[in-house]
Amino acid sequence: MGFFKVKLNGKSVKVRLKKGMSILDVMRQLGVNRETHLAKKNGRLVSELEEVSGKDRVEIFGVVYGG
């Protein structure tokens, strides 16, 4: 199904698009731990079970760093 771009900590990265994929699937593809990251879809904070399509603007950002 091709690729689409998401933002990971402000940087644009490519993700392989699959039908019915969720934010959690995106996180897994990127090797991101859901315990340490949150996600926004089209500017709105969302559950990582939310589905995404190639048209969505997805941002994943780290929030657990320590210190």
Partner 1 sequence: MAVSCSKCSGDAVVYLPYGNENLCKKHFVDSFEKRVRRTAREFRMIGKGDRVGVAVSGGKDSVSMLYLLKDICDSMRVELVALSVDEGIEGYREGTLKVAKENCRKLGVEHRILSFKREIGITVDEIAKKKDRMRTCSYCGVFRRWILNKTAREMGLTKLAVGHNLDDAAQTVLMNFLRNEPFRLARFGPSGGIIEHEFFVDRIKPLIRIPERESAVYSIIRGMNIKFGRCPYAHEAFRNEVRVFLNEVEEGFPGTKFRVFNSFMSVRDVLREKFSSNETPIKCKECGELSSNEVCMRCKMLRDLRGEKGKCL
Q: Residue count at the site for partner 1 (CB under 8 A)?
A: 20
Q: At its nearest, how many Å lie between partner 1 and the CB of residue 11?
A: 15
53 binds partner 1 (CB under 8 A): no
Output the 3-class SS for the chain: CCEEEEEECCEEEEEECCCCCEHHHHHHHHCCCCCCEEEEECCEEECCCCECCCCCCEEEEECCCCC
Q: At its nearest, how many Å lie between partner 1 and the CB of residue 15?
A: 19
Site string for partner 1, 32-51 (x = CB under 8 A): -xxxx-x-----xxxxxxxx
